[in-house]
Amino acid sequence: MTARDYVTFRVGEQLCGVEASAVQNVFHPRGVAPVPLAPPEIVGIMSLRGRLVTAFSARVRLGLPPQDEGSPSIAIGLDHAGDSYGLLVDAVGEVLRIDAGELKLPPGALPARWADSVRAVCQIDGELLLILDAARLLDRPLLQAAG
């Protein structure tokens, strides 16, 4: 069986993960400038090592309330369609190697905003890990902004 590495993180109380191959870096967002008329998921833009990065809230995208003002957040750096994003999450966990056979189809009872992005699920230490498709997670707000 094929095993892949996943970077785990928390969005609210939920344990999530994305393929490690999609992750460029993990960083603390600083100097985020708001973007007028951007969809609510887009927190703003910032400069990271000379590149413009769009700060994107996983909480808002997935239908959770935004973090309290001043709460620490961490960003997972993702590149998608030639652009750089900082996916703001509540906490980053560890990198887990998971065999493809351990992944299951997501349950049909997921809320619509989650179902759009969840590719698979897996039990880890008695907790459900949701494997998210980073591209689908990032695409939705951009399509809304264009429409």
33-78 per-position pLDDT tens digit: 999 999 989 999 999 988 999 999 999 999 998 877 777 789 999 9
Predicted local distance difference test score (pLDDT) of residue 108: 86
* Span 96-118, pLDDT tens digits: 999 999 999 998 888 888 988 99
pTM value > 0.85: yes
> CA angle at residue 9 from 4 to 7, to 5 degrees?
20
The model's confidence at residue 140, banded by pLDDT at 50, 70 and 90, is low
Question: Per-residue pLDDT for 28 more than 80?
Answer: yes
pLDDT above 90: residue 27: yes
Domain range annotation of the chain: 3-146
pLDDT at residue 73, rounded to an integer: 81
Using 50, 70 and 90 to split pLDDT, how confident is the model at 133?
very high
Report d(CA 117, CA 136) in Å as an integer: 6
Q: What is the CA radius of gyration of the chain?
A: 15
Domain 3-146, CATH homologous superfamily name and number: CheA-289, Domain 4 (2.40.50.180)
What mean pLDDT is reported for the chain?
89
Tell me how far apart the alpha carbons of residues 145 and 136 are, in angstroms, rounded to a whole number: 15
Query: Helix, strand, coil proportions of the chain in percent (round to 5)?
Result: 20, 50, 35
Categorize the per-residue pLDDT at 138 as very low, low, confident or very high, splitting at 50, 70 and 90.
confident
Chain centre distance of CA 135: 9
Provide the pLDDT for residue 14. 95
Cβ pair 122, 103 in contact under 8 A: yes
